[in-house]
Amino acid sequence: MTPASRRVTQRDIARLAGVSQATVSLVLNNRADTEVRIAPETRERVLRAIQETGYVADPVARRLVSRFNRIIGVFTYEPAFPSGSRDFFHPFLVGIEECAERVGCDLLLFTSAPVVDGRRRIFHQDNRLRLADGCLLLGRELDATELRRLNDDGFPFVAVGRRDDAGGPVPYVGADYADAVRQLVRRAHGYGHRRMAYLRMGMAAESAADRRQGFADEIGSAGSGIEVGTDGRTVDELLDQVLAADATVVFVEDFAVMVELERAARRRGLAVPGDLSILALGDPTVPVPSDVAFTGFLIPREEMGRQAVEVLVAMVNGGPAGGGTGVGGPAGGSTGVGGPAGGSPDGSGVQQRLLPCELVEGSTLGAPDRTVGRS
């Protein structure tokens, strides 16, 4: 045995196991080399030597003995380190941290990724992704090329938010935006609104596409609707277009635009919701001060973070995605699927969950009053 004061090396493991250092390296990297076959009893001797010497303290060796490091990576395509409780990413991270603690895992936030064309990149020269057992991906828009490469490499990952196919189905935990918007359209119809406007931000993200799909799905049976792009227009120009279309309710993707739209309407003497109802399609991505309680829905961000950890842990454990216990110890299992997409719709076995959004009553939706100040 080597002295306790000296760090155990692969050479020590090779000597104790009676094998070459190359064999130890193959076992450490968990490789099934096509030219060099490692007999099960040889692999067992190497693993036993690792355990006996305490080399298991090394993160790579620990992966071998227990099949994981108990480290969950978190990669963010946008700066996500919370600046305060109102930061958009803060609730996701709260849920992630809470579940990681419960299942006995550490979190590794990848912050060294370079920014290319305004966006962080997972794969780069100093990529250290494999220090973690798997990785959670956060961002309003994820890079499809990198998702495809992660799929091809077989590296366990879970996207926080629904993601489209990237060379194969993407495991994700997202919010059911489409159903939330459909419910809001039906609610507006119940108040008597028949002409509705939708203010879109021009984003290509799946979350934006799902919101628009929900509006398109329901508007046919609830009246008529128009879509208004916000790019390059002032808030007063947007309001002019909404009013010119004779819309009595407007659905707004971006919270900051919605706040400015409500203020512009009141400056003109329009009553909200009497002359114009305004609905929020999610939480603000940046803190926006407003005293108005907007009607709309909230994104289940903390729960998305928690369940994303559960799905990733189950993938690392090699069990059915989404139903496993904690990595290396007891943990509460999956809390269940909160939406219509709880499994793999294509039968691939890849876990894909959509969680319901919470509708907020607010004070900006009411019956339309066409007799006041819309000229």
Q: Please answer whether residues 202 and 233 qualify as being in contact, where contact means their C-beta atoms are separated by less than 8 angstroms.
A: no
Q: Give the DSSP H or E segment for 360.
A: strand 358-360
Residue 367 inside a domain? The answer is no
Q: Which domain holds residue 258?
A: 177-299
Count of domains for the chain: 3
> How large is the angle between the packed helices 177-190 and 206-222, nearest 10 degrees?
30
Q: Please answer whether residues 282 and 299 qualify as being in contact, where contact means their C-beta atoms are separated by less than 8 angstroms.
A: yes
The answer on 269 and 187 residing in a single domain is yes
The answer on 150 and 220 residing in a single domain is no
The answer on 348 and 288 residing in a single domain is no
What CATH number does residue 47 fall under? Answer: 1.10.260
The answer on 315 and 260 residing in a single domain is no
Kindly give the confidence (pLDDT) of every residue in the chain, 375 residues in length, as a single tens digit, with 9 standing for 90 and above: 444 446 778 888 899 999 988 888 888 766 555 456 788 999 999 989 888 887 754 555 555 555 667 899 999 887 766 555 567 888 999 999 999 999 999 999 887 777 776 677 788 777 788 889 999 999 888 888 899 999 888 899 999 999 987 778 999 999 999 999 999 999 999 999 999 999 998 777 899 999 999 999 999 887 899 999 988 899 999 999 999 999 999 999 999 999 999 999 999 999 999 999 999 999 887 778 899 999 999 999 999 999 999 999 999 988 544 333 334 333 333 333 333 345 555 556 789 999 999 999 999 999 998 654 444
Q: Which residues contact 206 (CB under 8 A, 6 or more apart)?
A: 161, 162, 163, 164, 174
- pLDDT confidence of residue 209: 94
The burial class, CB within 10 Å (0-12 / 13-18 / 19+), for 344 is middle
The answer on 292 and 189 residing in a single domain is yes
**Domain end position, chosen among 256, 275, 299:** 299
Report how far residue 15's alpha carbon sits from residue 217's, in angstroms, rounded to the nearest whole number: 68
The answer on 39 and 104 residing in a single domain is no
The answer on 116 and 78 residing in a single domain is yes
Residue 362 inside a domain? The answer is no
The answer on 142 and 184 residing in a single domain is no
- pTM of structure: 0.76
What CATH number does residue 233 fall under? Answer: 3.40.50.2300
**Domain end position, chosen among 50, 66, 82:** 66
- pLDDT confidence of residue 327: 40
Q: Please provide residue 60's backbone torsions phi and psi, each rounded to the nearest 5 degrees.
A: -70, -45
**In which residue are the tokens 């028949």 written?**
194
- pLDDT confidence of residue 178: 97
- pLDDT confidence of residue 324: 36
The answer on 134 and 156 residing in a single domain is yes
- pLDDT confidence of residue 86: 61
Give CA angle at 73 (68, 77), nearest 5°. 155
**Domain end position, chosen among 280, 299, 318:** 299
- pLDDT confidence of residue 277: 98
Which pair of structure tokens corresponds to residue 223? 């009246």
Residue 100 inside a domain? The answer is yes
The answer on 286 and 311 residing in a single domain is no
